């Protein structure tokens, strides 16, 4: 159809408009597809690696190692186990290396370079640790005052998130990692009387469930003669050999990489759809503007015998062309940017070099869905516009909105004119409202991530008053001076956000504890929860909460007495006496020491050391990791804001070109014309800002907990007053720039038009 020749010319004439829209589509789809694509690449790489290296179904640790017979018995029942004993040794720059012996059949090592350690004095290091310490294959490393030759660098599937404790908020890749030595070397380490953690990995063959295995492990007898004196003194034999039982699905060392990526992906896919719908609608608004402008021509074509189907097809081509080409380019760009996008994930999580995959659904998402949205939106809008009778089109008759006839009584002329102009262009203004709303929503999201992490960093530093917290495996007969004793238990609570469970730390403290200043009196089952727990689980004062000890299959009910500020981790506090009684411990039992100074305690006794410096450093690391995302979101929001506003305001000015020309002829000066025609934009921008900022904050408050659901800390979407001010300043600046640009366009409208 020869009529279609005008499409390319229309595109050329309005290249700024369509170019800007195409840019928005390419930019947003590029971001979305690269985010979702990188998630898929991560998932694919991890799944492939897990399969290749026989990822465990779970792990458990015991006080006394299982006998060979017990292992065989378990295997017969359907649970293949492999010892994954480890010792923790000091490495360079005060780091801690968790050393395992080479693995044979579960969680095997994936080497990126070199070979496995098979001689004494050889070691394989986890790749990020090696990189952070600048160690290469062939070099040596001093571990526990002994030199080891690094024979290989690689990863292990059960440590894709290299955290020391499964409840840690973040990994510190320089300070903690894993290494693998030969069996001979490992046995030598054990012979040196280094405290060992008897950990096992297991794989189920389908005949046994995890809970059946756990029950079996609880029932297994163990050789009490091998238990050390300490344990003999401090343990009651009603206790079982099993210390920890952790299924792979509950192990954040294994799951958090994929779940982290999944949250990013879902958020990106939803945001992408919203933006594409907005852009598709914007394009239809421009097409309608073209149809309005060419109304008489369309009427003439109808008069000549063109039918609606033909014109509809014709007017659909340009928006569909713009969306299709941009969607293809955006998706292509997204695929190209996967490597860039995945960098942060690769730098943080530990898995082998990724394999690029191009999942077909992303092609459907990136190309087909935008095209379908554009088709639906444009078809609906253009079809309705072309359904006007030919004569009405010829006479340029438009449906007059009842709203535009609103009685404005005695209002001043300028304001009356502005309001009428606003109502005449209500479609453009509503589109602008939604466009700016989405831009502001993105802005609030960016500032909220920034605020949330800043607040977390600051609160961790200010809420935690001790410098060192030692979690002991076994209490000491005589505790050092100047320490504060406490009792800590790890329980789980149901997390409504994910439908799964999350570890919480219940800490028994006494009234003399100098690091906490809240009173502990009250009923025996009353607890004081940290604001972090309150945020994470949605608990309030007076709530009855249930925490579970999965190992003992026991539930504990507590009543929330108070919520206190404590940002780090997920802590619940109670009176130490009540807690000892509740968990059946002796009157003077403790397993936690808090101190201002570093304590000299033998390594084997310590389960975990938490230092405020490390906590703050980890929180800062989170800040660094998220910084790129925050900048991208804020940049995208400002761009979206400015482009949407510029295009729509310019279009509204173009639509009013005739009356502007007339007003110029009447003698109105530029300032007055700006007031009449651009003043309405200010109303829309001001109204949108007033509505969108609080509404966006409410929306982000609701969705943010889901986005950080796998972080073991309660983080709120926080925005500081300065952030609000910056946001308003950004909005006003963008408005001023657009106003200036459109003002120049306004000047160019000739008096001759009239």
Residues at the interface with another protein (CB under 8 A):
1-3, 5-6, 9-10, 13, 294, 296-297, 299-307, 389-391, 394
> Which tokens sit at 672?
């007055």
Positive or negative: CA dihedral 20, 21, 22, 24: positive
610 closest CA partner among 81, 39, 167, 293: 167
Rounded CA gap, 448 and 154, in Å?
A: 37
DSSP run (H or E) holding 509: strand 500-509
Residue located via tokens 């605020």: 451
Rounded CA gap, 580 and 165, in Å?
A: 24
Residue located via tokens 């009176």: 575
Contact between 107 and 158 under an 8 Å Cβ cutoff? The reply is yes
Q: What is the Cα Rg of the chain in Å?
A: 33
Rounded CA gap, 223 and 233, in Å?
A: 16
> Which tokens sit at 744?
């120049």
- β-strand 554-564 against 544-549: which pairing, if any? antiparallel
Residue located via tokens 């000892």: 580
Rounded CA gap, 55 and 155, in Å?
A: 12
By beta-carbon proximity to another protein, the closer residue of 391 and 552 is 391
Angle (CA) 269 271 273, round 5° = 70
Looking at residue 90, the DSSP 8-state letter turns out to be: E
Rounded CA gap, 670 and 746, in Å?
A: 9
617 closest CA partner among 461, 497, 479: 461
DSSP run (H or E) holding 69: helix 68-77
Burial class of residue 244 in the structure, from the number of CB atoms within 10 Å of its CB (0-12 exposed, 13-18 middle, 19+ buried): middle
Smallest separation, CB 306 to another protein (Å): 7
Helices 413-424, 670-707: inter-axial angle, 10-degree rounding: 50
How is 437-480 classified by DSSP, letter by letter?
HHHHHHHHHHHHHHHHHHHHHHHHHHH---SEEEEESS--SSPP
Rounded CA gap, 737 and 732, in Å?
A: 9
Report H helices in 575-720: 576-582, 612-655, 657-666, 670-707
Smallest separation, CB 748 to another protein (Å): 16
How is 195-242 classified by DSSP, letter by letter?
--BEEEEEEE-SSS-HHHHHHHHHH----GGGS-HHHHHH--TTS-SE
Report H helices in 53-67: none
Angle (CA) 368 374 376, round 5° = 100
Query: How far out from the chain centre does Cα 597 lie?
Result: 35
Angle (CA) 339 371 440, round 5° = 70
How is 365-404 classified by DSSP, letter by letter?
IIIIHHHHHHHHHHHHHHHHHHTS-HHHHHTT--PPPGGG
626 closest CA partner among 441, 439, 442, 447: 447
């Amino acid at each position: 159809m020869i009529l279609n020749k005008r499409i390319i010319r229309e595109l050329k004439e309005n290249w700024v408009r369509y170019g800007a829209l195409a840019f928005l589509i390419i930019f947003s789809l590029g971001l979305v597809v690269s985010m979702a694509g990188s998630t898929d690449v991560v998932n694919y790489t991890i799944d492939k690696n897990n399969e290749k290296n026989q990822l465990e179904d779970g792990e458990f640790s015991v006080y006394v190692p299982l006998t060979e017979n017990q292992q065989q018995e378990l295997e017969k029942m359907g649970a293949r186990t492999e010892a994954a004993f480890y010792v923790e040794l000091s490495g360079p720059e005060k780091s801690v290396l968790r050393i395992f012996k080479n693995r044979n059949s579960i969680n095997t090592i994936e080497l990126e370079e070199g070979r496995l350690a098979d001689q004494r004095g050889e070691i394989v290091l986890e790749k990020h640790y090696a990189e952070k310490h600048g160690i290469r294959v062939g070099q040596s490393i001093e571990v526990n005052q002994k030199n080891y030759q690094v024979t290989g660098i690689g990863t292990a599937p059960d440590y894709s998130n290299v955290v020391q404790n499964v409840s840690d908020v973040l990994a510190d890749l320089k300070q903690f990692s894993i290494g693998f030595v030969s069996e001979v070397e490992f046995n030598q380490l054990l012979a040196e009387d280094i405290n060992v953690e008897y950990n096992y990995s297991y794989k189920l063959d389908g005949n046994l469930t995890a809970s059946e295995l756990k029950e079996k492990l609880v029932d297994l007898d163990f050789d009490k003669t091998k238990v050390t004196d300490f344990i003999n003194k401090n343990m009651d034999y009603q206790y079982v050999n099993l210390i920890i039982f952790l299924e792979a699905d509950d192990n954040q060392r294994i799951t958090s990489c994929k779940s982290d990526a999944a949250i990013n992906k879902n958020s990106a896919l939803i945001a992408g759809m919203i933006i594409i719908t907005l852009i598709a609608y914007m394009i239809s608004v421009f097409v309608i503007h073209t149809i309005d402008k060419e109304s008489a021509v369309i009427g003439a074509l109808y008069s000549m015998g063109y039918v609606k189907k033909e014109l509809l097809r014709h007017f659909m081509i340009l928006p569909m062309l713009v969306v299709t080409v941009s969607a293809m380019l955006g998706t292509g760009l997204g695929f190209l940017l996967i490597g860039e996008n995945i960098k942060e994930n690769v730098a943080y999580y530990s898995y082998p070099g990724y394999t690029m995959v191009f999942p077909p659904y992303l092609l459907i998402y990136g190309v087909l869905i935008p095209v379908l949205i554009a088709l639906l939106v444009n078809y609906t809008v253009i079809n309705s516009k072309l359904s006007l009778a030919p004569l009405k089109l010829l006479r340029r008759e438009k449906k007059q909105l009842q709203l535009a006839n609103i009685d404005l009584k005695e209002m001043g002329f300028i304001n009356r004119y502005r309001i009428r102009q606003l109502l005449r262009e209500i479609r453009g203004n509503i589109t602008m409202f939604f466009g700016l709303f989405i831009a502001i929503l993105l802005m609030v999201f960016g500032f909220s991530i920034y605020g949330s992490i800043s607040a977390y960093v600051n609160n961790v530093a200010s809420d935690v008053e001790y410098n060192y917290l030692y979690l002991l495996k076994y209490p000491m007969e005589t505790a050092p001076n100047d320490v504060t004793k406490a009792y800590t238990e790890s329980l789980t609570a149901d997390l409504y956000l994910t439908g799964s469970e999350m570890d919480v730390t219940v800490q028994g403290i006494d009234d003399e504890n100098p690091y906490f200043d809240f009173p502990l009196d009250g009923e025996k089952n009353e607890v004081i929860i940290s604001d972090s727990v309150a945020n994470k689980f949605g608990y309030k004062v007076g709530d009855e909460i249930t925490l579970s000890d999965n190992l003992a299959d026991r539930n504990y009910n507590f009543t929330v007495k108070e919520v206190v500020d404590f940002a780090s981790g997920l802590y619940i506090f109670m009176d130490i006496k009540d807690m000892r009684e509740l968990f059946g411990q002796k009157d003077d039992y403790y397993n936690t020491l808090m101190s201002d100074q570093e304590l000299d305690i033998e390594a084997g006794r310590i389960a975990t050391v938490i230092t405020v410096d490390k906590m703050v450093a980890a929180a800062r690391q989170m800040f660094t990791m998220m910084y790129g995302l925050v900048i991208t979101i804020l940049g995208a929001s400002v761009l979206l804001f400015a482009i949407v506003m510029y295009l729509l305001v310019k279009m509204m000015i173009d639509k009013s070109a005739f009356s502007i020309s007339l007003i110029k002829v009447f003698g109105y000066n530029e300032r007055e014309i700006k007031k009449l025609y651009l003043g309405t934009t200010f109303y829309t921008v001001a109204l949108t800002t007033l509505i969108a900022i609080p509404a966006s904050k409410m929306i982000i408050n609701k969705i943010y907990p889901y986005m950080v659901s796998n972080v073991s800390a309660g983080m709120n979407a926080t925005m500081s007053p300065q952030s609000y001010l910056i946001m308003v300043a950004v909005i006003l600046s963008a408005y001023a720039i657009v106003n200036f640009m459109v003002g120049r366009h306004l000047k160019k409208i000739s008096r001759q038009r009239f």
